[in-house]
Structure 1
Amino acid sequence: MLKGLFSKKKETVPPNVLIVVADDLGYGDLGCYGAVGFETARLDQLAADGVRFTSYYSGGVNCTGGRAALLTGCYPNRIGMGGRSFPPGGFTGLNPEERNLATMLAEAGYVSGYVGKWTLGSHPHFLPNNQGFDYWFGIPFSHSFLDQEVEDAIYLTSSLPLMDDENELEEDTDPAFLTRRCTEQAAEFMESAGDNPFCLVVSHAMPHRPLALTEEFDGRSKYGIYGDVIEEIDWSVGALVDVLAVLEKLENTIIIFTSDNGPALQSEEVLGYRSGTPRPYRGGKGQTLEGGVRVPCIVNWPARIPGGQVSDEMVCGMDWLPTIAGLAGVELKRTPEIDGVDIFNHINGEKPPEEPVREEVYYYRDNRLQAVRQGPWKLHVYRGDWDVEKPEKSDYMLFNLDSDTTEESNLADQNPELIDELAKVADRARRELGDSVHGRRGRSTRKAGEVSMG
Structure 2
Amino acid sequence: MYTYFNLFFKYGLAIVFSCQLLACKSSQKEEKKRPPNIVYILADDMGYGDVAALNHRAKIPTPHLDKLVEQGRSFTDAHTNSAVCTPTRYGVLTGRYCFRSRLKSGVLVGHEPALIEKGRMTVGSLLKQAGYHTGAVGKWHLGLDWQAKDSTQALFEGNLWDMSSTENVDYTALVKGGPADYGFDYEYIIPASLDIAPYVYIENQKVTAAVNRHVDFWKDTTSRGAWYRHGDIAEDFDHSDVLPQLTRKAVTYIHDQAKQKEPFFLYFPLTAPHTPWLPSEEFQGKSQAGVYGDFVAMVDHTVGQVIQALKENGVLENTLVIFTSDNGAHWLPSDIETFNHEANHGRSGMKSDVWDGGHRVPFIVHWPERVPAATISDEVICTTDLMATCAALTGLEMPHDAGEDSYNVLPAFLGQTADQPIREATIHHGIDGMFAIRKGKWKFIDGKGSGGWSAKPTDEEPAGQLYDMESDPLEKNNLYEGQPDKVKELKTLLEKYKSQGYSRSI
For Structure 1 versus Structure 2, the TM-score category normalised by the shorter chain is 0.7 to 0.9
Question: Equivalent of 1:425, from 493, 499, 504?
Answer: 493
User: 1:20 is paired with a residue of what secondary structure?
Assistant: strand
Alignment of 1:359-398 (within 5 A): 359-365=424-430, 368-383=433-448, 395-398=463-466
The answer for unaligned runs of 5 or more in structure 2 is 1-29, 146-174, 210-233
Residues 1:78 and 2:78 aligned together: no
TM, length-normalised to structure 2: 0.76
The share of aligned pairs that are identical, in percent, is 30
Q: What is the Cα deviation at residue 169 of structure 1?
A: 2.1
212-221 vs 244-253, greater mean Cα deviation: 212-221
Cα-to-partner distance string for 1:251-273 (whole Å, 9 max, x where unaligned): 11000000001111346589x98
Q: What is the Cα deviation at residue 93 of structure 1?
A: 2.2
284-293 vs 376-385, greater mean Cα deviation: 376-385
Q: 1:18 to 1:109 in 2, by over 3 A?
A: same
Residues of 1 paired with 2:112 and 2:303: CA distance?
A: 32
Cα-to-partner distance string for 1:286-332 (whole Å, 9 max, x where unaligned): 11011111111000100111112211111000111110111122222
The answer for unaligned runs of 5 or more in structure 1 is 1-9, 146-156, 434-441, 445-454
Residues of 2 paired with 1:246 and 1:375: CA distance?
A: 42
User: 1:126 is paired with a residue of what secondary structure?
Assistant: coil
Cα-to-partner distance string for 1:112-155 (whole Å, 9 max, x where unaligned): 1111100001322211122221111121111212xxxxxxxxxx
Question: Equivalent of 2:181, from 130, 137, 147?
Answer: 130
User: 2:74 is paired with a residue of what secondary structure?
Assistant: strand
Equivalences, count: 411
Give the letter aligned to residue 225 of structure 1. Answer: V
Matching residue of 1:410: 478
Give the letter aligned to residue 112 of structure 1. Answer: T
User: 2:272 is paired with a residue of what secondary structure?
Assistant: coil
Residues 1:25 and 2:46 aligned together: yes
CA contact under 8 A between 2:95 and 2:403: conserved in structure 1? Answer: no
Q: What is the Cα deviation at residue 187 of structure 1?
A: 1.1
Matching residue of 2:316: 250
| Larger Rg belongs to | 2
Matching residue of 1:327: 393
Cα-to-partner distance string for 1:164-212 (whole Å, 9 max, x where unaligned): 2222224151121122111111111111112220000111111111111
Q: What is the Cα deviation at residue 248 of structure 1?
A: 0.7
User: 1:220 is paired with a residue of what secondary structure?
Assistant: coil
Cα-to-partner distance string for 1:356-375 (whole Å, 9 max, x where unaligned): 11121112235844221111
TM, length-normalised to structure 1: 0.84
Give the letter aligned to residue 392 of structure 2. Answer: G
Alignment of 1:186-201 (within 5 A): 186-193=250-257, 194-201=260-267
The alignment yields a C-alpha RMSD, in angstroms, of: 2.7
Residues 1:318 and 2:388 aligned together: no
Alignment of 1:70-219 (within 5 A): 70-123=92-145, 124-145=175-196, 157=197, 159-170=198-209, 171-172=234-235, 173-193=237-257, 194-219=260-285
Q: 1:244 to 1:269 in 2, by over 3 A?
A: closer
User: 1:143 is paired with a residue of what secondary structure?
Assistant: coil
Residues 1:399 and 2:467 aligned together: yes
Q: 1:243 to 1:337 in 2, by over 3 A?
A: closer
Residues of 2 paired with 1:322 and 1:343: CA distance?
A: 8
CA contact under 8 A between 2:83 and 2:327: conserved in structure 1? Answer: yes
Q: What is the Cα deviation at residue 340 of structure 1?
A: 0.8
